Amino acid sequence: MQLIDGKATAEAIKKEIREEVEQMRREGKRVPHLAAVLVGNDGASETYVNNKIKTCHDIGFESSLLRFDASMTEDELLAEVEKLNDNDEVDGFIVQLPLPKHIDVLKVTEAILPEKDVDGFHPINIGRMTQQVPCYIPATPKGIMQLLERYKIPTAGKHCVVIGRSNIVGTPMSVLLSRNTYPGNCTVTLCHSKTENMAEITRQADIIVAAIGQPFFLKGDMVKEGAVVIDVGMTRIPSDKTKTGYRLVGDVDFESVAPKCSYITPVPGGVGPMTIIGLVQNTLLSAKKVVYASTRNEVRS
Ligand code: GUN
- Name the catalytic one among 96, 116, 231, 251: 96
Say what the pLDDT of residue 34 is. Answer: 98
What DSSP letter does each residue of 172-207 carry, written as one string?
A: HHHHHHHSSSSS---EEEEE-TT-SSHHHHHTT-SE
Are 271 and 6 within 8 A, CB to CB?
Answer: yes
**Alpha carbon distance 204, 201 (integer Å):** 5
Residue 115 covered by a domain: yes
Q: Whose CA is nearest to atom 11 of ligand 1?
A: 97
Instruction: Tell me: do 209 and 265 sit in the same domain.
Output: yes
Give the SS3 label for residue 298.
helix
Instruction: Tell me: do 221 and 184 sit in the same domain.
Output: yes
**Alpha carbon distance 296, 85 (integer Å):** 9
Residue 5 covered by a domain: no
Q: Whose CA is nearest to atom 9 of ligand 1?
A: 96
| Torsion over CA: 51, 55, 57, 63 (sign) | negative
Locate the ligand 1 atom nearest the alpha carbon of residue 97 and give its number: 10
Residue 27 covered by a domain: yes
**Alpha carbon distance 145, 57 (integer Å):** 25
Are 92 and 118 within 8 A, CB to CB?
Answer: yes
Q: Whose CA is nearest to atom 2 of ligand 1?
A: 97
Instruction: Tell me: do 158 and 35 sit in the same domain.
Output: no
The closest of 284, 243, 261, 167 to 206, measured between CA atoms, is: 261
Say what the pLDDT of residue 300 is. Answer: 42
Q: Which residues line ligand 1 (CB under 6 A)?
A: 94-97, 119, 139-140, 168
Residue 3 covered by a domain: no
**Alpha carbon distance 208, 226 (integer Å):** 11
Q: Pocket of ligand 1, candidates 47, 50, 52, 97: which has the most ligand atoms within 8 Å of its Cβ, to mutate?
A: 97
Instruction: Tell me: do 120 and 224 sit in the same domain.
Output: no
At 81, which CATH number?
3.40.50.10860
Q: Pocket of ligand 1, candidates 46, 51, 94, 167: which has the most ligand atoms within 8 Å of its Cβ, to mutate?
A: 94
Instruction: Tell me: do 89 and 170 sit in the same domain.
Output: no
Instruction: Tell me: do 163 and 74 sit in the same domain.
Output: no
Locate the ligand 1 atom nearest the alpha carbon of residue 140 and give its number: 6
Bond before 154 cis per omega within 30 degrees: no
Locate the ligand 1 atom nearest the alpha carbon of residue 95 and give its number: 9
**Secondary element (H or E) of residue 39:** strand 33-39
Residue 1 covered by a domain: no
**Secondary element (H or E) of residue 2:** strand 2-3
- Name the catalytic one among 52, 116, 142, 158: 52
Say what the pLDDT of residue 295 is. Answer: 45
**Catalytic status, residue 52:** yes
CA of 226 to the centre of ligand 1 (A): 31
Query: Within 13 Å, how many C-alpha atoms sit on residue 137's CB side?
Result: 25
What is the per-residue burial (b if ≥16 Cβ within 10 Å, else e) of 25-37?
eeeeeebbbbbbb
Instruction: Tell me: do 179 and 220 sit in the same domain.
Output: yes
Instruction: Tell me: do 151 and 250 sit in the same domain.
Output: yes
Instruction: Tell me: do 39 and 113 sit in the same domain.
Output: yes
**Catalytic status, residue 96:** yes
Count of C-beta atoms within a 10 Å radius of residue 205? 25
The residue length of the chain stands at 301
Give the SS3 label for residue 250.
coil
At 241, which CATH number?
3.40.50.720
Residue 297 covered by a domain: no
Residue 52 covered by a domain: yes
Count of C-beta atoms within a 10 Å radius of residue 78? 16
Q: Whose CA is nearest to atom 1 of ligand 1?
A: 97
Say what the pLDDT of residue 298 is. Answer: 43
Instruction: Tell me: do 91 and 165 sit in the same domain.
Output: no
Instruction: Tell me: do 75 and 109 sit in the same domain.
Output: yes
Domain count, the chain: 2
Instruction: Tell me: do 229 and 244 sit in the same domain.
Output: yes
**Alpha carbon distance 234, 267 (integer Å):** 7
pLDDT tens sequence for the chain (301 residues) = 999 999 999 999 999 999 999 999 999 999 999 999 999 999 999 999 999 999 999 999 999 999 999 999 999 999 999 999 999 999 999 999 999 999 999 999 999 999 999 999 999 999 999 999 999 999 999 999 999 999 999 999 999 999 999 999 999 999 999 999 999 999 999 999 999 999 999 999 999 999 999 999 999 999 999 999 999 999 999 999 999 999 999 999 999 999 999 999 999 999 999 999 999 999 999 999 999 975 444 444 3
- Its domain, for residue 231, covers 139-271
Give the SS3 label for residue 262.
strand
Residue 4 covered by a domain: no
